[in-house]
Amino acid sequence: MSGWPVDKLHMDALAVPGDFSSAAFFLVAALLIGDSEVIIENAGLNPSRTGLLAVLRRMGADLQSEPTGSQGPEPEGRITARTSALVATDVGRSEVPSLIDELPLFLLAAARAEGTSHLSGAAELRAKESDRLRGMSAILRTLGIQVSERPDGMVVIGNPAGWRAGAINAYADHRLAMVGAIAGAASLEGVLVDDADCISVSYPGFAQALASLGAPSTRLPTEGTGLRVGS
């Protein structure tokens, strides 16, 4: 509107810790792929958002987190993950808020763990970008994992031997697509994710970052937005 004064907002440079939810995919990849080590620098370590670390350590994961400072009120640090033999665990209602966005990764880790894992109190996953309980049930079954879907969670019977291959539906959900890519990197023969474009919602450079760590990935123009990850 002409004639009105215009005020400009001025601010100093703002440093933001790395997003733990994005880093978590590479941490789990390191746990599941043989002879792997991944180091994440400057990751956000807010304890209200890093519940996945405690759950994975309970499963026997070789994970170290080292605080290195803070950006304002947010702690940050270095997280190191190495290949690990995992055992089953349970995640219940009290833990769910601290890893709500990482629960699909917990379910993928549970699929490679020795024993039976239980997730409960997570009905909120049905109201995300997709019904993530339904989507993860379908993904794990496609990989040959035995699961029982519940109204607020899932039971996963792990197979430490892993899976050979698969073709998964990501339901246009960026987190399910990235879980599928990690499943492909950890597979024997590769996994086809039907929609990789949806990943750009939260992590536009995800496929390139995964490839830079040694996981082969190939875009398949004949499959629309598909992405094949793994051997």
User: Residues 19, 90, 101, 197: which is the catalytic one?
Assistant: 101
pLDDT value at 24 more than 80? yes
In sequence order, what are the beta bridge partners of 81?
Answer: 38, 63
Residues 6 or more apart whose CB falls under 8 angstroms from that of 192 comprise 166, 167, 168, 184, 220, 223, 226, 227, 228
pLDDT value at 38 more than 70? yes
Residues 6 or more apart whose CB falls under 8 angstroms from that of 75 comprise 17, 44, 45, 46, 67, 69
Q: What is the pLDDT of residues 191-227, one digit of tens each?
A: 999 999 999 999 999 999 999 998 877 766 445 578 8
Give the mean model confidence (pLDDT) for residues 176-196: 95
Confidence band of 3 (pLDDT split at 50, 70, 90): low
pTM: 0.91
| Residue 2: predicted pLDDT | 55
In sequence order, what are the beta bridge partners of 118?
Answer: 90, 155
Are the C-beta atoms of 217 and 181 separated by less than 8 Å?
yes
Q: What is the pLDDT of residues 159-173, one digit of tens each?
A: 999 999 999 999 999
Q: What is the pLDDT of residues 44-79, one digit of tens each?
A: 999 999 999 999 999 999 999 999 887 778 899 999
User: First vs last Cα of the chain: how many Å apart?
Assistant: 59
Residue tagged 């996945």 (tokens): 52
Does the active-site annotation cover 101? yes
Q: What is the pLDDT of residues 112-155, one digit of tens each?
A: 999 999 999 999 999 999 999 999 999 999 999 999 999 999 99
Side-by-side strand order, sheet with 62-71: 37-44, 74-82, 62-71
| Residue 219: predicted pLDDT | 65
Give the mean model confidence (pLDDT) for residues 35-46: 95
Are the C-beta atoms of 156 and 111 separated by less than 8 Å?
yes
| Residue 5: predicted pLDDT | 63
Domains and CATH numbers, the chain: 20-229 (3.65.10.10)
